[in-house]
Amino acid sequence: MKSSRRKKKTIIFPESGDERVLNAVKKILKEKAAKVVLIDNGSNDLKKLSDNKDLLIIDSEFSSQFLKEFHKLRSAKKKDQKISQSEKEINDPLTFGCMLLKNNYADGLIAGSFYSTSAVLRNAISIIGTARNCNSVSSFFLFTFPEKHIHSKKILAYADCGVIPYPDANQLSDIAVSTSENFRKLTGIVPKVAFLSFSTKGSAESDALNKITEAVKLTKRRKPKLISDGELQFDAAFNKEVAGRKDPDGIIKGEANVFIFPDLNSGNIAYKITERIGEAFATGPVLQGLSKPVMDLSRGCSAEDIFNMSLIISNI
C-alpha cells in the first residue's frame, strides 16, 4: 500500500471492550499511525491505556449531546419514533460513534469485531449517508501475491464482494467508480476497470447482460477519462493473448486491475477462489461510497487486521 504523507487521521473505535481492538489501538499509538477516539463503556481495561496526546476517551454519557439531532434523523424515516427509543438507540456505542463521526469528531470509524456487518452498514448508511455523486455503499477487496507467484507484481481489486446482493446498472456503475478511485488512492496505480460477465462484447446473448452493458455506458458517460470497458469474460480482461483474440479493439488489452462483478454471488465466490486457490493475500472488505469512511471488521479478526484497517482509513 502507498505510504501516507497526509495529516494524521482520527479514527473512532466504538468496541473498546474488545481486547483485540485495544491491542490494535496500542500499536496505532505506538507507531503514530493515527489519532484514536475510544468510547468508554465502563471497561476497566481502558484505564490501562497510558496517557497519550493522540488518544481521546469519550464517556458514553456524552451521547446525550446528540440526542436531539439523532431523534430528528430517526423521526424523518419513522414518524412514530419515540424520544425514549432514540435515547436507547444512541446509547449504543456504534450508533454514538457514527454520530461522533457525522459531527466531525474524527475522519473515520472502525467496528465489527463484535457488531454484525448489517448493524455496521445500517448505522453507517442511516447516520453518515452516502458520498456526493454516489448512491451506493459497496465494498472491495485488494489482492497482492507472494514473491514467487506468477502474478507477484500485480495488485488487483474486486468489487462488490460484500454488500449489494443484486446491483442494478446504476449501482454497478457506482461500484466501479468508487473502486477505481480507492484503488488509485491506495496503490498509486492507474485503474483499468473491467465489467465482468460470461460474455465478451456480445459473444453471448442474454437478458442477464443488459444491466452490465448499461453500467458500462453509464460509467463511460460519468467518467470519460477512466479506462473502463465491458462486458468482458475474465480471461479477456486479464490475459493479453486472449484479449487479442476475443476483444482486439478493446481498450483494456488484458491489463484490467479492477474487476466489477455482476452480483454479490459471483464477487464473493471469486474473492474466495482467488484467496484459496490463487494464493493471493486479500485485504478487505473495504467499505466505500459513504460520505466518511467506516470500516467493517470480520468478527474473527485479529488485532493486526484492525491495525491494517486503520492504515486503509489513513490512505483513503
Ligand X SMILES: CC(C)(COP(=O)(O)OP(=O)(O)OC[C@H]1O[C@@H](n2cnc3c(N)ncnc32)[C@H](O)[C@@H]1OP(=O)(O)O)[C@@H](O)C(=O)NCCC(=O)NCCS
Least gap, CB of 264 to ligand X (angstroms) = 6
What cell was used for 144? 497482492
Least gap, CB of 131 to ligand X (angstroms) = 10
Pick the closer one to ligand X by CB: 137 or 216.
Answer: 137
Least gap, CB of 33 to ligand X (angstroms) = 27
Contact (Cβ atoms closer than 8 angstroms) between residue 219 and residue 204: no
Contact (Cβ atoms closer than 8 angstroms) between residue 310 and residue 24: yes
Pick the closer one to ligand X by CB: 99 or 236.
Answer: 99
Least gap, CB of 140 to ligand X (angstroms) = 12
Q: How far apart are CA 222 and CA 235, in angstroms?
A: 26
Pick the closer one to ligand X by CB: 122 or 154.
Answer: 122
Q: In terms of C-beta density within 10 A (0-12 exposed, 13-18 middle, 19 or more buried), how is residue 180 classed?
A: buried
Pick the closer one to ligand X by CB: 130 or 144.
Answer: 130
Q: How far apart are CA 159 and CA 193, in angstroms?
A: 11
Which SS3 state, helix, strand or coil, does residue 38 take?
strand
Q: How far apart are CA 193 and CA 172, in angstroms?
A: 12
Least gap, CB of 283 to ligand X (angstroms) = 16
- Exposure string (b/e) for 129-162, b if CB count within 10 Å is 16 or more? ebbeebebbbbbbbbbbeeeeeeeeebbbbbbbb
- CA 309 to chain CA mean position, Å: 10
Least gap, CB of 78 to ligand X (angstroms) = 9
Pick the closer one to ligand X by CB: 118 or 210.
Answer: 118
Task: Provide the binding-site residues for ligand X, judged by CB under 6 A.
Answer: 77, 117-118, 121-122, 125, 130, 136-137, 162-164, 264, 268
Pick the closer one to ligand X by CB: 102 or 246.
Answer: 102
Which SS3 state, helix, strand or coil, does residue 140 take?
strand
Query: Which is nearest to 172 in space by CA: 199, 135, 123?
Result: 135
Least gap, CB of 261 to ligand X (angstroms) = 12
> What is the torsional sign of CA 161, 189, 282, 315?
negative
Pick the closer one to ligand X by CB: 122 or 151.
Answer: 122
